[in-house]
Amino acid sequence: MKWRDLPKILLLIPTVLSAASSSRQECDNDGTTADTTCKITEKAKQTDYMDPSKFKKLVLSFEEDESILPQLRGTIDNVISKADITAFISALPKVEFVKASGYDDDINSNGRVYAAPEGYAAIGLKELKTSSSEAYNKLLQMREHVRSTTEKALHLCPGSLYIDFTTISQKTEGGAHTPHADNCIHYFDDGVVTCDPARVHPYPNRVAASIMYLNDPGNGNYEGGQFYFANRTNHGEVEALGTVNIDAGKMIYFTSGIENLHGALPVLSSGGGGREIVEPRRLALAMWYVFDPSLKESVDDSDPNDPTEIFTLLLPESVEVTSLLQYIGTYIVSLQRKPTIGAWTVSKYGHSILHILFKDHSAMFSMNFMDPHQLTDVSSRIVVERHTDVNKRPSLQYMLQESVLLHGVLDELSKFMSDRLFDENERVSVNDGLEAARKKLPGRQAS
Ligand SMILES: *[C@@H]1O[C@H](CO)[C@@H](O)[C@H](O)[C@H]1NC(C)=O
């Protein structure tokens, strides 16, 4: 499994989705009724809409009865008109896309190595909101239309599907996704795909997704880049029949488990055809869905997901921030198996932030390695913040392990910097900073 293949967005989402709330789904079509049965309109009844529990059973039944698979995926043309899409694309900020990157499995050593994937970047609601209100408002309309279209296509009760994450993905030359499921980490057993129960997926609650193409090869100056369904029983081979031709406004929808192993072919340059060479760029609107309303993506002004600061460490100028990030990232990766396998998952957000997610998904923390030029005042710094979901508290185990890990991180920071500081004043101020940070953490655990 390559981390880059995890649907984004562990890499992008600044909050954690909590694991596995098994709260009973209440399907109410008009937003006012709370009932465990699906109260549906006459019209909906005729087309046999399912409530979430019935739907989940249907999804699971694919193991015995493959003939239901066509009910779990499909494509729809012209979901949004070309004119609306063109208007949206031209309102999109060009430079705000965040390069996604992550950690790859090192095939030779079973450990993980730090790696940045090629040609893949994305922009989420939050970033869009601050950079273009025109694009943001258009996106809000589009996403609701895409959500309800997905719900309808899957024959789900109106109002039962909630959006847990929205992103505009941008793939440039080489950008591709190898086959993956959206709610578990898979492996192949004799060529047949299986969910690995030993590995924690960041978004186990996802039930469906939709991808809508936002530009045509001609407009984006690219070739390739098609979404495909992969063969579950043949090592995830690309299914010729499952490759979806690109057409702006066309949407693909599918349930999130191994029944719909999927990927995207690499984006290639179309060479410009004698015209001025423009970098190829393939754009799509990717959305993921859940049944649990508490996991719903926030679009409010007040952001209850705002993180809390754990500590901030000022860095002297002589410390090169990028290599420090690299060093600390590698250190945390080496601890990913402590205290148990899969305890921590590290990923990179943009070029300066590490996200460190705990296995119980009750919380995560981020480390932002800020260069002087990113700030209005001058000094570089590391800002460490804890993130939780709305109304969720970090588990006790998270709090204990976070403290252990951060004490270790401070030791490593001290090691890294003591090799590089020549100035006595810098040494004193760094040591003071490290001590102040330690005081903000609970006491070191006896090891
Ligand atoms: C998937 O692979 C199996 C085994 O090679 C093959 O029999 C089957 O036809 C393939 N399915 C598709 C849809 O390509």
Ligand 1 centroid from CA 7, angstroms: 25
DSSP code, position 160: -
How many other CB atoms sit within 10 Å of the CB of residue 180? 22
What integer pLDDT is reported at residue 12 of this predicted model?
A: 32
For 186, the token pair is 């898979």
pLDDT over 80 at 358, yes or no? yes
Ramachandran sector of residue 5 (left: φ over 0; alpha: ψ -120 to 50; beta: rest): alpha
Q: Average pLDDT for residues 9-21, to the nearest whole number? A: 30
- The pTM assigned to this predicted structure is 0.63
What integer pLDDT is reported at residue 277 of this predicted model?
A: 63
Q: Average pLDDT for residues 375-381, to the nearest whole number? A: 66
CATH 2.60.120.620 location in the chain: 3-18+67-295
Fold of 308-439: TATA-Binding Protein (3.30.310)
What integer pLDDT is reported at residue 120 of this predicted model?
A: 80
**CATH class of segment(s) 3-18+67-295:** mainly beta
Instruction: Find where tokens 């043309």 sit.
Output: 77
Segment 59-116, tens digit of pLDDT: 999 999 999 999 999 999 999 999 999 999 998 887 667 665 433 443 333 333 334 4
Burial tier of 434 (Cβ tally within 10 Å: 0-12, 13-18, 19+): middle
Buried b (16+ CB within 10 A) or exposed e, 78-94: ebbeeeebeebbebbee
The answer, yes or no, to whether any atom of ligand 1 lies below 6 A from the CB of 234, is yes
Segment 178-204, tens digit of pLDDT: 899 999 989 999 999 999 988 888 789
Sign of torsion over alpha carbons 394, 398, 403, 407? negative
The answer, yes or no, to whether any atom of ligand 1 lies below 6 A from the CB of 191, is no
Ligand 1 centroid from CA 201, angstroms: 27
DSSP, collapsed to helix, strand or coil, labels residue 109 as: coil
Ligand 1 centroid from CA 32, angstroms: 46
CATH 3.30.310 location in the chain: 308-439
Mean pLDDT of the chain: 80
| Of 326, 318, 339, nearest in space to 412 by CA | 326
| Of 268, 253, 257, 274, nearest in space to 210 by CA | 253
How many other CB atoms sit within 10 Å of the CB of residue 120? 24
Which atom of ligand 1 is nearest the CA belonging to 232?
1
At residue 8, what are phi and psi to the nearest 5 degrees? 25, -60
Segment 269-312, tens digit of pLDDT: 887 555 566 788 999 999 999 999 888 887 765 555 567 889 99
At residue 415, what are phi and psi to the nearest 5 degrees? -60, -50
What integer pLDDT is reported at residue 426 of this predicted model?
A: 84
What integer pLDDT is reported at residue 345 of this predicted model?
A: 84
